[in-house]
Amino acid sequence: MENKVDPFGMSEIKDYDKILREFGVSSFAPLVKKLPKPPAMMRRGFVFGHRDFERIADAIKNRKKFAVLTGIKPTNYLHIGSKFVIDELVYLQKHGGIVYYVIADLEALADNGISLEESANIARDNLLDVLALGLDPKKTVFYKQSENPTVLKYAQIFGSNVTTNMLKAIYGERETRLYMAALVQMADILLPQIEHGKIPTVIPVGFDQDPHIRLSRDIAKKHGLIPPSATYKKFIGSLTGNPKMSKREPEGIIFLNESPDSAAYKIRNKAKTGGRDTLEQQKRLGGRPELCSVFELYSYGLLNDKELAKVYKACKSGKLMCKDCKEIAVGKLTAFLKEHQRRRKAAEKIVDKILC
């Protein structure tokens, strides 16, 4: 199966084992047991690969300084898939990580044509979600790419070691604006070491962002810095069955600022399940949770281990019908959204201070 990896476009990963084989990425599974109380997405294999995460695991174990960085393009509202990215940030922050949250407004301008003014409004909404999901603002460095002079300075400094041939080899033939965005991202990724000295840094991403990681690792070595680590998450599928939940397909996505009623409608009417053609077949043959978008939501962390095992067994045995399973999801998801949006409202008190 062919994988398509494009940090500036539509990516599709069909074979994660092939990623491990062909890109020099290590399996994350052996590291899970070395981490204190790892979250569900790590334990259940949705964080599938890494580069040099051993450094981070060692820093956590020995209480050493390390940094965590994420860059979110303010192009649309955050969705349920975004939640699991932030969950990893929160987990690493609770275990000592210095978190950098980058508002990638220059990339949004270069890649999506979104003006800095428009992206500022979207970034504010994104931050409400991030704060509501538990990221501690007192222990987080927030900044916009367009307003950070250190990042813009080091994009030029680090860029002195980047050739056009290197960019073409990593990204393919691209417009100059996208190459410039890549250099800024490289400076973002290395910023924690500019500000804190040579400390391990991890970037939790989907594998579509690996070209930025590879470029940054190469340039870090040339400047005497520690090559940044990365963790790679599997894409969460769309409710409609597409392999990646995408903001371009609103009917297959649940936004974090969406009304509980709207989310319930999508689960009931849009979610593709692993059910059989008839009720009789479902009872006789059982369901196929491995093909079900609702069970995927459960697996990412919507259900705890005991609940997940119970639903899986009931589905496979033919005792749980898809309609009833969807109602379980509706209950869990609407309860989460109601509480999340209460937290979003509370975050209104501080979000504008962060953006000043």
Residue 101 within a domain: yes
- Are residues 190 and 159 located together in one domain of the fold? yes
Do residues 240 and 253 lie in contact, with contact meaning Cβ atoms separated by under 8 Å? no
In the chain, the amino acid numbered 216 is S
- Are residues 273 and 224 located together in one domain of the fold? no
> Bridge-partner residues for 47, per DSSP?
233
Residue 254 within a domain: yes
Q: Edge-to-edge strands of the sheet including 201-206?
A: 26-27, 47-51, 229-233, 201-206, 66-72, 97-103, 140-144
Residue 319 within a domain: yes
Tokens of 180: 């410039």
- Are residues 207 and 337 located together in one domain of the fold? no
| Kind and range of the H or E run holding 42 | helix 40-43
Give the SS3 label for residue 197. Answer: coil
Q: What is the CATH number of the domain that holds 303?
A: 1.10.240.10
Residue 2 within a domain: no
Query: What does the alpha-carbon distance between residue 296 and residue 325 come to, in Å, rounded to a whole number?
Result: 12
Residues 6+ apart with CB under 8 A from 168: 174
Query: What does the alpha-carbon distance between residue 294 and residue 323 come to, in Å, rounded to a whole number?
Result: 11
Query: What does the alpha-carbon distance between residue 47 and residue 32 come to, in Å, rounded to a whole number?
Result: 10
**pTM summary value:** 0.93
Radius of gyration over alpha carbons of the chain, in Å? 21
Residue 244 within a domain: no
The torsion region of residue 286 among left (phi > 0), alpha (psi -120 to 50) and beta comes to left
Of 235, 266, 300, which residue sits at a domain end?
235
- Are residues 341 and 286 located together in one domain of the fold? yes
- Are residues 261 and 218 located together in one domain of the fold? no
Of 190, 211, 235, which residue sits at a domain end?
235
- Residue listed under structure tokens 């079900």: 292
Please name which of 188, 199, 202 lies closest in space to residue 52, comparing C-alpha atoms. Answer: 202
Query: What does the alpha-carbon distance between residue 158 and residue 184 come to, in Å, rounded to a whole number?
Result: 9
- Are residues 271 and 189 located together in one domain of the fold? no
- Are residues 149 and 272 located together in one domain of the fold? no
pLDDT tens for the chain, 356 residues: list them.
577 788 887 777 888 899 999 899 999 999 999 999 999 999 999 999 999 999 999 999 999 999 999 999 999 999 998 898 899 999 999 999 999 999 999 999 999 999 999 999 999 999 999 999 999 999 999 999 999 999 999 999 999 999 999 999 999 999 999 999 999 999 999 999 999 999 999 999 999 999 999 999 999 999 999 999 999 999 888 899 887 777 677 889 999 999 999 999 999 999 999 999 999 999 999 999 999 999 999 998 899 999 999 999 999 999 999 999 999 999 999 999 999 999 999 999 999 999 87
Do residues 139 and 94 lie in contact, with contact meaning Cβ atoms separated by under 8 Å? no
Query: What does the alpha-carbon distance between residue 342 and residue 336 come to, in Å, rounded to a whole number?
Result: 10
DSSP, res 12: B
- Are residues 339 and 199 located together in one domain of the fold? no
Do residues 132 and 348 lie in contact, with contact meaning Cβ atoms separated by under 8 Å? no
Query: What does the alpha-carbon distance between residue 111 and residue 105 come to, in Å, rounded to a whole number?
Result: 10
Residue 3 within a domain: no
Helix axis angle, 176-196 to 164-171, nearest 10°? 100
pLDDT of res. 1: 59
Beta-strand (E) ranges in the chain?
A: 26-27, 47-51, 66-72, 97-103, 140-144, 201-206, 229-233
- Are residues 98 and 196 located together in one domain of the fold? yes
- Residue listed under structure tokens 């047991």: 33
Of 178, 211, 235, which residue sits at a domain end?
235
Task: Check the CA dihedral 43-44-45-47 and report its sign.
Answer: negative
- Are residues 302 and 205 located together in one domain of the fold? no
Please name which of 196, 35, 209, 32 lies closest in space to residue 100, comparing C-alpha atoms. Answer: 196
For the chain, how far is it from start to end, CA to CA, in angstroms? 47
Residues 6+ apart with CB under 8 A from 273: 287, 291, 292, 293, 294, 322, 325, 326
Query: What does the alpha-carbon distance between residue 319 and residue 152 come to, in Å, rounded to a whole number?
Result: 58
Q: What is the CATH number of the domain that holds 77?
A: 3.40.50.620
Residue 226: how many other CB atoms lie within 10 Å: 19
pLDDT of res. 3: 79
- The total domain count for the chain is 2
Domain range for 289 is: 250-353
Residue 180 within a domain: yes
Give the SS3 label for residue 116. Answer: helix
Residue 245 within a domain: no
- Are residues 162 and 269 located together in one domain of the fold? no
- Are residues 288 and 168 located together in one domain of the fold? no
